[in-house]
Amino acid sequence: MGGYVIAIDQGTTSTRAIIFDESMKVAGTGQKEFRQIFPNSGWVEHDPEEIWETVVWSIKEALKKANLEASDIAAIGITNQRETTLIWDRETGKPLHNAIVWQDRRTSKLCDKLKKAGHEKVFAKRTGLLLDPYFSGTKLSWLLSNVKGARKRAEKGELCFGTVDTFLIWRLTGGKSFVTDATNASRTLMFNIEKNVWDKELLDILDVPKSVLPEVLDCAADFGIADADLFGAEIPILGVAGDQHAAVIGQACFSPGMLKSTYGTGCFALLNTGEDIVRSKNRLLTTIAYRLDGKSYYALEGSIFVAGAAVQWLRDGLKMIGSAPETGALADKADDAQEVYLVPAFVGLGAPWWDAEARGAMFGLTRGTGPAEFARAALEAVCYQTGDLLDAMHKDWKNDDCDIVLRVDGGMVASDWTMQRLSDLIDAPVDRPVILETTALGAAWLAGSRAGVWPDMKAFAETWARDRRFEPKMDDEVRTRKLKGWKNAVRRTLSNL
């Protein structure tokens, strides 16, 4: 067996399987999109069977392209869209309902009810999270209350709850492993991040029986063995982390003060705070960055619900572009005299506002506004939101000895225009790595290091290499004016005006 590792990167719009070789270079890939289901306004679902089918197909395709057999693979690592919630039959493995996606807002009223009952403080203290529909706990509570017979069956121990990683492990192992990792558990509103246990009081508040919950393991652990009849040989599953946590690892942000931001469907910035649990006073999240050898390391996180999704809206909704890569060149042609702002609150606003009822809006439109200005506004919205997160982070975690350098990854960072504008608007250097597949790489490293075929943490961190650094070039007066316009646009978009 060589040092090949498969990373399953199960995302919000597609699944990818990436095979890395002994030198951590990509040897083969497979990728397949799946449907986005919108049953009602603000609701987002996925078909679990479609997700599963894309995983199996992608792994087989990656093996084919790499000209490898399953027996050549040392381990599987899994990284996944977080908070997306599933329940399935413990005997048959059949889902009882579509997966409720992290973007889904159907539990807004339940969150409001829990807030009014005075529960948010205990949730924040125990889990580091806020009471928002984003997280899994209220989604699970909704499923148990709204799927016929689900609560009674759950109380009898007949059902399993899981985020996508748990569901995939269950399927890969033929139902032998019912487990998750600490990072995914930390995003459920049910896991005590200080004690590293499912919290009975929070389960009681949400009316969730503990019997539906998986066992929580370290990020590098023995999660089970993928059945031989799936790919031709047994493959151990040795690494799991939620996508943003895997990106922290893939970016080698192992030291306190290191900062990464991932730009995919949404945008997620995480600041490593080491072994310290930093309680945010600026409505950021406190989360487990990763857990290794039984020890948890923490992060402050800012979550933006819409980043690349705004570009998808330009392409699929407004038909202004034919493909996402066109956006940067189009934005570069925008009229500098027009200050057009897009506040992309299509599914509410995330950190640091946490306004589930806000909806998207554009400001500054004139008769001369066209596709170029829309493109620039969509890309700048990502940059402005990142700046808001960084401002909040540095209010919560003050360290005068730490210079701000943002390590970036995700599909949007391939755009030089966007990365330069990001550096300009946050007034800090932005580092783009040579390996852009940092989320998949993080999952692969967890599995590869556990299998003993990849280097340890220190040696892995030394392999990180920068492709390009973007330095701020924007005039201070221009930046100040643009940031003021953005804050005004957000203020006018919030639902509590």
- Tell me the binding residues: 12-14, 16, 82-83, 134, 243-244, 265, 308, 312, 411
Q: Are the beta carbons of 395 and 281 closer than 8 angstroms?
A: yes
Q: Are the beta carbons of 374 and 340 closer than 8 angstroms?
A: yes
Is 31 exposed, middle or buried (CB count within 10 Å of its CB: 0-12, 13-18, 19+)?
Answer: middle
Q: How far apart are alpha carbons 359 and 347 in whole angstroms? A: 7
Q: How far apart are alpha carbons 322 and 316 in whole angstroms? A: 8
SS3 category, 79: strand
| Nearest to 6, CA basis, from 433, 443, 438 | 443
**Annotated binding residues for glycerol:** 82-83, 134, 243-244
Amino acid at 438: T
Q: How open is the CA angle 437-439-445, to the nearest 5 degrees?
A: 95
**Annotated binding residues for sn-glycerol 3-phosphate:** 12, 82-83, 134, 243
**Annotated binding residues for ATP:** 12-14, 265, 308, 312, 411
Cβ-count burial 286-304 (b if 16+ within 10 Å, e if not): bbbbbbbeeebbbbbbbbb
Q: Which residues contact 235 (CB under 8 A, 6 or more apart)?
A: 6, 70, 73, 75, 76, 225, 226
- Whether residue 352 is preceded by a cis peptide bond, meaning omega within 30 degrees of 0, is yes
Q: Where are the alpha helices (DSSP H) in 219-294?
A: 228-231, 243-250
73-80 vs 466-470, strand pairing mode:
unpaired
Rg over alpha carbons for the chain, rounded to the nearest Å, is 22
Q: How far apart are alpha carbons 54 and 9 in whole angstroms? A: 11
Q: How far apart are alpha carbons 52 and 60 in whole angstroms? A: 13
**Annotated binding residues for ADP:** 12, 16, 265, 308, 411
3-state secondary structure 397-457: CCCCCCCCCEEEECHHHHCHHHHHHHHHHHCCCEEEECCCCHHHHHHHHHHHHHHCCCCCH
Q: How far apart are alpha carbons 411 and 262 in whole angstroms? A: 8
Q: How open is the CA angle 142-127-446, to the nearest 5 degrees?
A: 100
Q: Where are the alpha helices (DSSP H) in 128-258?
A: 136-146, 150-155, 164-172, 182-185, 200-206, 228-231, 243-250
